Structure 1
Amino acid sequence: MSKKAKIIGLSIFGVLMILVCKYVYDMNINHNFETITEGKVYKSGVIPPDQIASYVKEYHIKSIVDLRMPGTNDLVLNPEIPGELQAEKTAVAKIGGVNYFSNPSEQVPNKENIAVFTKIMDNKDNYPVLIHCYHGTGRAEMYAALYRIEYESFTNEAARQGVRTLITFSSFDDGTPKGEYLKAYKSRSELASKQ
């Protein structure tokens, strides 16, 4: 094998190792925690109950919106079990001064989910808010995009692009249920202006 081929091979291996390490860190250490709007809205995957208090303290979180939906038999997108939800709720109750809101949602929200979500987000006393689902890469990102459309006047496309990790091969791409939902979503102010 030539020296050039070895360098290329080692470079590819190095990039792959960096990507694997980032994935492991994001999923298992940082729990896909991300700032949506500094001091107002954050999103994540499941944070273990014994670590929730540290996130609440560091980011001054006053409310947690849990989007997990157990009992769907979808072990890929919704692998939640009721005991995990109760453990989180109990951990949050011990912190004091933090609201816990359960808004069980499929990957694409329904009207009831949106009504519950906007009621929570309309109340300024609930901020800063942590929105989370199981992985932090589907429902949490969907609701983060909806927050940006409803409360920060993002266009649907800007909000959709903001949740796409990759340029393509995202669950928010054109033609995917989540991508099409965000493209077609009508904010409350948009609906009110048409009446």
Structure 2
Amino acid sequence: MMLALSSGVSAAAEPSAGSGLPSRASAIRHLSTIAIDNFGQISPHYYRGAQPKGRDYADLAALGVKTVIDLTKDGDSQEPSLAQAVGMKFYRIPMTTHDTPSAEKVAQFLKLVDDPANGPVYVHCQGGRHRTGVMTAIYRMSNDHWTADQAFAEMKKYKYGAD
């Protein structure tokens, strides 16, 4: 999957200042209540972690998350309704941990993440390590202009490769 980190993709525009995001103090207060494994904030518009469960969806919505992006191939069949029940949109981009993401899946992912109407987004796979790590690294390199080494270092902070 590290091969996918060299994919070059152009970045979309940042959301406007009037995007309706929660205040910084409010978001910090809510961050401390998130119980999702391997949870992290990449930017004000991008959160990442493991598969949410039960109350986690309400906690994500309280952070201001508008869209959940599931990177699992055979995800929780109830997840779309759990996300929608608290006012969030849901998208699944089916991936495995064994295959490099296709150019089409990378483009679909970046289009969703970069669309101001979808943000903030929460990106996850089962454990928030491998698929989430790779796609977040691609996001970092395309949007934040990170090097592959910088992106890989962040992946390791979120347990990439740990089993």
Per the normalisation by structure 1, the TM-score is 0.59
Shift of residue 31, structure 1, vs aligned partner: 1.9
State the Cα distance separating 1:92 from its structure 2 match. Answer: 1.0
- 1:65: which partner in 2? 69
Aligned to 2:133: 141
Q: Which has the higher contact order (CA 8 A, sep 6+)?
A: 2
Paired with 2:123 and 2:86, the residues of 1 have a C-alpha distance of 17
Where structure 1 has 5 or more consecutive residues not aligned to the other structure, the ranges are 1-28, 71-79, 173-195
Larger mean CA deviation between 133-142 and 118-127 belongs to 118-127
| Greater per-residue strand proportion | 2
Unmatched tracts of structure 2, length 5 or more: 1-34
The answer as to whether partners of 2:129 and 2:160 remain within 8 angstroms in 1 is no
What whole-Å deviation, never above 9, does each CA across 1:16-47 have from its counterpart, x for those lacking one? xxxxxxxxxxxxx432111112x211111111
Task: Confirm or deny: 8 A CA contact 2:125 2:131 kept in the other structure.
Answer: yes
Kindly report the root-mean-square deviation, in angstroms, between the aligned alpha carbons of the 2 structures: 2.1
Q: Which runs of 4+ in 1 moved over 6 A?
A: none
Contact 2:71 2:93 in 1 (8 A): yes
TM-score (normalised: structure 2): 0.70
Whole-Å separation in 2 of the counterparts to 1:32 and 1:161: 15
Pairwise CA distance, 1:51: 2.4
Tell me, yes or no, if the aligned pair for 1:63 and 1:127 is still in contact at 8 Å.
Answer: yes
Give, in angstroms, the shift of residue 66 of structure 1: 0.4
The equivalent of 1:42 in structure 2 is 47
Structure with greater Cα Rg: 1
Deviation readout 1:120-171 (Å, 9 max, x if unpaired): 12311211111000011111111111111111111121111111139xx953
Q: Distance in 1 between matches of 2:137 and 2:160?
A: 14
Note the 1:153-172 alignment, pairs <5 A. Answer: 153-165=145-157, 171=161
